[in-house]
Structure 1
Amino acid sequence: MLTSSNTTATRAAPSPVDDYARIEEAIAFLRARRGDQPGLQELADHLRLSATHTQRLFSRWAGISPKRFVQYLTVEHAKRRMAETGDLLSLAHDSGLSGPGRLHDLFVNLEAMSPGEYRRAAQDVAVAYGVAPTPFGMALVAYTSRGICHLSFRGVEPDTPLRAQLTASWPAAALSRDDAAAAELLAQVFGQCAPPPGGLSLWVSGTNFQVQVWRALLRVPRGGLLSYRQLAHLVGQPRAARAVGTAMARNPIACLIPCHRVLRESGEFGTYHWGSERKMALCAWEAAARDAAAGTAPSAEEIAAG
């Protein structure tokens, strides 16, 4: 039952994690009812909110209306963005540039080790880590003096502790926990505060092909989408779409190495290590941010109108 306005006024503001849980629930509902195209009131009823509070939820979380959010999740939008991104990257390649203009993107530096170097370095490396809320739920970020080495969410196995994912990758490292420092770092990752002047550094280990795929992903701009085939072309291996998918599955750093921006050729979002709903949420959130940066985001009046 809806509470009175006085009670609502004294209630604490929803946390980012609470908002994301509702967004994920909304995506799951919209996926299940895709053929019906449920309206705002049906979505609000499913979320156990009023239509007004549902509007506020999406506006608070992504700056858009539920209607615009649903548009970002359509196959038609995905196909259009894949075509646009492919053309943009092809133009950058033909011009001899490393990637398209990234004025509104977070600058990321990637340093890679071979598996042999990793085994030697991991013997006595100090890894600090922490868990903190983000716009996409609780996340764990880990870092060394050379850069971020791990970023993960609770995925398809939500009962697996986040630290277990880290220790599987760094079994011999000396781990120390600092949630406050992690919260500050994650705020930089998700644009809630300014990153360092030189951008964020990543420190990863992978085969030459895996690193090649990860570097190619860094060229895909925020709000951009690619198919597996397009990504294979981007790394110079046009027949290696399946191998590209395998390399993406080995990605140790969610979001910053943006494997969520790669979709099926059909425009379907497909699977994601940290959950299909999270992949869709990431893509819609980034599409909204891209449109806001380009000046094409809806006005407050348009959001209120749905």
Structure 2
Amino acid sequence: MKLLTIQKNDRLTLGVQEDGRVYDIEAALKAVPSQGVTTDMMELIHSSESMQALQGYVQQLKQAGDAEYVVQEENVQIGPCVPTPGKIICVGLNYRKHAEETNAPIPEYPILFNKFSNTIAAPGEEIPLPKVTNKVDYEAELTIVMGKEAKYVSKDQALDYVFGYCNVNDLSARDLQMRTHQWLLGKSCDKFSPIGPYLVTADEVGNPNQLDIKCIVNGEVRQHSNTSDMIFYCDEIVSYISQHMTLSPGDIILTGTPSGVVLGYPEDQQVYLQDGDIVTIEIEKLGALTNRMVAE
């Protein structure tokens, strides 16, 4: 299923996208009441029973045909697909060609760092370029969304704990990031993790390490790779992290970015994001995430 959140004034409700149309679950429940169906994305991620109820309910709605609760996607204001993640864990230097372009050695273990919930932003939301930096870079990334508690899980079983996947732009202020050996400052400015538009369930995605991935800036393709270029695949990442900390439903893992970032260009060719730039992250099966950068 392609799940999304619908922004209604100051709150978010649940939607299901299919063939360019969105089932507004809150509106549907008013017209077609049903027990056990949630309108809250985070509750859905946490509960397999809620997911089963939603799947059955959407089939019921599809059989009923068009109604006022089925709307065209362009008429929906989409919110972040994981509105309140628990942990936000990131993997650095996880594509071979990206490590090579930044003259970094291939990591022996996954390089982990974290971001915070202040970085979450919605598709279409304007992203402020902080006035304390002039080197904000784009990073197209596949995000793993956990659906079950995972501790000491094997690589072979790791993906069974995944709820689904989505796009994220892991925006990075390179001057702040490199100011010290800790990357956190350059990664955790407000709205530096726009996410979405969809949270696509794992069964629909299939193998997460066979997905085309792109970043497009003002219509120009800047990054174009495949998740098969990852150094540590998604199953390895989930298993590795779970050896050291408990992963919980609603935690998200940003799996690294491919080559083509501004930082990878020769210094005299580096042009970082500017006021008005339009950045789109596009991953196969996961849709396209677009945001406009604005001066703070």
TM above 0.5, yes or no, is no
Normalized per residue, the structure richer in helix is: 1
Higher strand proportion (structure 1 or 2)? 2
The alignment's TM-score, normalised by the length of structure 1, stands at: 0.28
Larger of the two Rg values belongs to structure: 1
